[in-house]
């Protein structure tokens, strides 16, 4: 049976470390770090995620603000708000929750964010620095996975790592980070996507599989190698007749894969809470490097 990579537990440790730092900052009579989240529209999952971010901020002692726009918002209005946040001396970092409605050019929005406040690490300047192994904000989900691997001391050097999904926020940055000359890293990386043929031929050879495709229970035990490390990023709301009306499903068929894997992340309680903790981490990094705080 696989051992659990307990993201909930590690996320609490990371947040406790951040809280301690914030207490020192406050003891020195400085203002608390401040994170702002922009939410456009009314998507249930996005709302839940943004609300939990506000809760995380309270927990570690940050200030937080939530700015909401209707799904009909004009691109220009969103850009104006971003400019305002870029200029604001009491905002250390902000994120624009994705996906955005169709009338808005996502690339234009991301490009407008001051890279120094881009705590999601999505701006091309930060993405480029990440790829070149320069100091920068790492996107929260890949950063969370690296931290989980690091804290559990999972060997990644020389391992075959197969990633499923090539999104800007998870798969693509993850593939770069696992191949970096660093720990955790130094893996031999294969990035697979919807055009990959016979994907099981890749996953069967993998020492580490990272699934980020958003297809419930996609990865089955037959597709993995004995002793593999399985990281499940996927979170899909699947309707059911429970009181809530849905349950959360990962991309991994946990029950069958757990019998074969050496380590595995659960959903919920795996990568999700780590993502949230690393956003807090990026925000305190932004605060500490901010030109307004030296
Ligand atoms: N736990 C966390 O913190 C987070 C969880 N998520 C979850 O992770 C999942 C993925 O999210 P995100 O990265 O935004 O995904 P996207 O929907 O942006 O991208 C999905 C990727 O998976 C690929 N893909 C889709 N179907 C298959 C298939 N059958 N075989 C191989 N590849 C496939 C797509 O290929 P192609 O490029 O060819 O279309 C695409 O690259 C979702 O469930 C999301 O909710 C996301 C962010 C954070
Ligand atoms: N600009 C931007 N940055 C993001 O980082 C970003 C985004 N947009 N858009 C959507 C995805 C998704 N995402 C999640 C983060 C945490 C959980 C999480 O905490 N999940 C809990 C369960 C939460 C629940 O109960 O609903 C868990 O897995 O245990 C889930 C999903 C960040 N994303």
Q: Cα of 35 to ligand 1 centre, how many Å?
A: 26
In this predicted model, what pLDDT tens digit does every residue of 120-131 receive, in sequence order? 999 999 999 999
Q: Is 150 helix (H, G, I), strand (E, B) or coil?
A: helix
In this structure, the residue with its CA closest to atom 21 of ligand 2 is 272
Burial of 293 (0-12, 13-18, 19+ CB in 10 A): middle
pLDDT of 291 reads 61
Per-residue pLDDT for 51 more than 70? yes
pLDDT of 44 reads 82
Start-to-end C-alpha separation, the chain: 50
Q: List, in sequence order, the alpha helices (H) in 132-263.
A: 140-151, 171-178, 199-203, 254-258
| pLDDT category of residue 144 using cuts at 50, 70 and 90 | very high
| Catalytic member of 6, 15, 53, 260 | 53
> Are the C-beta atoms of 171 and 163 separated by less than 8 Å?
yes
> Are the C-beta atoms of 171 and 216 separated by less than 8 Å?
no
Asked if 53 is an active-site residue, the reply is yes
Q: What percent of the chain has pLDDT over 90?
A: 95
* Angle between helix 140-151 and 271-289 (nearest 10): 110
pTM of the model: 0.97
- The three-point CA angle 282-268-152 to 5° equals 60
Question: CA-to-CA distance for 130 and 136, rounded, in angstroms?
Answer: 6
In this structure, the residue with its CA closest to atom 30 of ligand 2 is 272
> Are the C-beta atoms of 177 and 185 separated by less than 8 Å?
yes
DSSP label of 47: H
| pLDDT category of residue 103 using cuts at 50, 70 and 90 | very high
Asked if 19 is an active-site residue, the reply is no
Q: What is the mean pLDDT of residues 90-105?
A: 96
- Element (H or E) spanning 7, and its range? helix 7-27
In this structure, the residue with its CA closest to atom 20 of ligand 1 is 213
165 is in an annotated binding site: yes
Question: CA-to-CA distance for 284 and 268, rounded, in angstroms?
Answer: 25
φ/ψ of residue 132, rounded to 5: -90, 5
Nearest to 141 by CA among 26, 249, 49: 49
> Are the C-beta atoms of 205 and 224 separated by less than 8 Å?
no
11 is in an annotated binding site: no
Asked if 120 is an active-site residue, the reply is yes
Average pLDDT, whole number, for the chain? 96
Per-residue pLDDT for 294 more than 70? no
> Are the C-beta atoms of 19 and 33 separated by less than 8 Å?
no
Q: Is 24 helix (H, G, I), strand (E, B) or coil?
A: helix
For residue 2 the two structure tokens come to: 């696989």
Ligand 2 binding pocket (C-beta < 6 A) is 48-49, 52, 95-98, 120, 140, 169, 235, 248, 267-269, 272-273, 275-276
In this predicted model, what pLDDT tens digit does every residue of 185-238 receive, in sequence order? 999 999 999 999 999 999 999 999 999 999 999 999 999 999 999 999 999 999
262 is in an annotated binding site: no
**C-alpha distances in Å from residue 266, one per residue of 156, 158, 239, 253:** 20, 25, 19, 10
Q: What is the mean pLDDT of residues 75-89?
A: 97
Ligand 1 binding pocket (C-beta < 6 A) is 141, 164-167, 169-171, 192-196, 199, 212-215, 233-236, 271-272, 275
| Catalytic member of 15, 97, 118, 281 | 97
In this predicted model, what pLDDT tens digit does every residue of 235-285 receive, in sequence order? 999 999 999 999 999 999 999 999 999 999 999 999 999 999 999 999 999
| pLDDT category of residue 292 using cuts at 50, 70 and 90 | low
Question: CA-to-CA distance for 153 and 218, rounded, in angstroms?
Answer: 27
pLDDT of 182 reads 87
Q: What percent of the chain has pLDDT over 70?
A: 99
Which residue ranges form the domains of the chain, and what is each CATH number? 29-114 (3.40.50.10860), 140-271 (3.40.50.720)
pLDDT of 293 reads 63
């Amino acid at each position: 049976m696989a051992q659990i990579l307990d993201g909930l537990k590690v996320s609490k440790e990371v947040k406790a470390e951040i809280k301690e730092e914030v207490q020192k900052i406050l003891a020195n009579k400085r203002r608390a770090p401040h994170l702002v989240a922009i939410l456009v529209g009314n998507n249930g999952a996005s709302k839940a995620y943004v609300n939990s971010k506000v809760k995380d901020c309270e927990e570690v002692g940050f200030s937080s603000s939530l700015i909401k726009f209707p799904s009909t918002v004009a691109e220009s209005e969103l850009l104006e708000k971003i400019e305002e946040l870029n200029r604001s001396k009491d905002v250390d970092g902000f994120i624009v929750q994705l996906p955005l409605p169709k009338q808005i050019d996502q690339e234009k929005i991301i490009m407008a964010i001051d890279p120094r406040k881009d705590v999601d690490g999505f701006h091309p300047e930060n993405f480029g620095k990440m790829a070149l192994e320069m100091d920068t904000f790492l996107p929260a989900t890949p950063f969370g996975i690296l931290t989980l691997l690091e804290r559990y001391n999972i060997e990644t050097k020389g391992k075959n790592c197969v990633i499923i999904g090539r999104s800007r926020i998870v798969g693509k940055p993850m593939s770069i980070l696992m191949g970096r000359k660093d720990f955790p890293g130094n893996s031999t990386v294969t990035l697979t996507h919807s055009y990959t043929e016979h994907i099981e031929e890749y996953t069967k050879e993998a020492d580490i599989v990272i699934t980020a495709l958003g297809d419930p229970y996609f990865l089955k035990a037959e597709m993995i190698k004995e002793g593999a490390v399985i990281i499940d990023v996927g979170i899909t709301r699947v309707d059911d007749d429970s009181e809530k009306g849905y349950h959360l499903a990962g991309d991994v068929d946990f029950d069958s894969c757990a019998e074969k894997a050496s380590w595995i992340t659960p959903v919920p309680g795996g990568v999700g809470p780590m993502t949230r903790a690393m956003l807090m981490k990026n925000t305190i990094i932004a605060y500490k490097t901010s030109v307004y705080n030296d």
